[in-house]
Amino acid sequence: MTMPKLSSNDSDVQPLRPDANQVRRILVLGYGNPGREDDGLGPAAAAEIERMGWLNVTVCNNYQLVIEDVVDIAAADIVWFIDASRNGPEPYATQKLSPAMDITFTSHIVSPEVLLAMAEQYYGKSPRAYLMGIRGYDFEFVERLSDRAATNLKQAVTLLLSLVKDGEEPKG
């Protein structure tokens, strides 16, 4: 990894640019409520990634996305948003995300696209971003995953581990 040339003249400072030899900074944001059964799939997936202890990977999890997440998003090259999906395909679905300011923005419901738009607007950063929806089935007030959701979680984490490790994009 090459460091930027430091100088007293700001015009001499060379910004770091991602290239084949530079380690990508990856952010994994798992969100959902572990006290609502399968709604905890996002935090559970994030916890599995965090167990790897990779230095270039930052893992956050919370009940919901918040505007404070923008600081971490702006510092990343690649962002994975991971949530439970009530109606998605089994075992999971992935999709590439783009920044989009949503006029229905409220302090209690912030979409990944809004956070990406804020990172772009306020920090001038546009990391590659993806959403993974892991299929859940039961959303009662119980702190555990259903058996079927736990199976889906294992498959989703297997994919995530390989993609996060290599900084690759999902296929399809």
Domain ranges of the chain: 22-166
CATH of domain 22-166: 3.40.50.1450
pTM for this predicted structure: 0.85
More confident residue, 170 or 31: 31
- Whole-number pLDDT of residue 12: 33
Q: What percent of the chain has pLDDT over 70?
A: 84
Asked if residue 129 lies in contact with residue 112, where contact means CB atoms within 8 angstroms, the answer is yes
- Whole-number pLDDT of residue 164: 81
More confident residue, 73 or 6: 73
Rounded to an integer, the average pLDDT of 67-95 is 96
- Whole-number pLDDT of residue 170: 83
| Angle (nearest 5°) at CA 14 between 27 and 78 | 15
Of the chain, the end-to-end C-alpha distance in Å amounts to 31
Whether the predicted pLDDT of 102 surpasses 90: no
Could you read off the pLDDT of 118-135 as tens digits, one per residue? 999 999 999 999 999 999
- Whole-number pLDDT of residue 8: 35
Strand partners, 96: 130
Asked if residue 138 lies in contact with residue 39, where contact means CB atoms within 8 angstroms, the answer is no
DSSP 27-63: EEEEES-TTSGGGGHHHHHHHHHHTT--TTEEEEEES
**What tokens does 36 get?**
């609502």
Name the one residue in this structure whose structure tokens are 């993974």: 132
